[in-house]
A and B are shown apart, each in its own frame.
Chain A
Amino acid sequence: QKEVEQDPGPLSVPEGAIVSLNCTYSNSAFQYFMWYRQYSRKGPELLMYTYSSGNKEDGRFTAQVDKSSKYISLFIRDSQPSDSATYLCAMSEGTGRRALTFGSGTRLQVQP
Chain B
Amino acid sequence: DVKVTQSSRYLVKRTGEKVFLECVQDMDHENMFWYRQDPGLGLRLIYFSYDVKMKEKGDIPEGYSVSREKKERFSLILESASTNQTSMYLCASGRGASQAFFGQGTRLTVV
Contact = CB atoms under 8 A, between A and B. Distances in A.
Contact of A94 (B4, B45, B97, B100): B97
A21 B7 CA distance: 33
A74 interface: no
Contact of A99 (B42, B48, B105, B107): B48
A15 B66 CA distance: 44
Given A8-B40, A100-B100, A104-B41, A43 B50 contact: no
A102 B104 contact: no
Interface size class of B (residues with CB under 8 A): 20 to 34
Contacts, number: 61
Interface residues of A, number: 30
With most chain B CB atoms within 10 A of its CB, the pick from A45, A88, A97, A99 is A99
Contact of B104 (A36, A43, A103): A43
Most chain B CB inside 10 Å of its own CB: which residue of A43, A96, A97: A43
Given A32-B97, A90-B100, A104-B42, A98 B50 contact: yes
B90 A44 contact: yes
Interface of B: 4, 31, 33, 35, 40-43, 45, 48, 50, 56, 58, 90, 94, 96-98, 100-105, 107
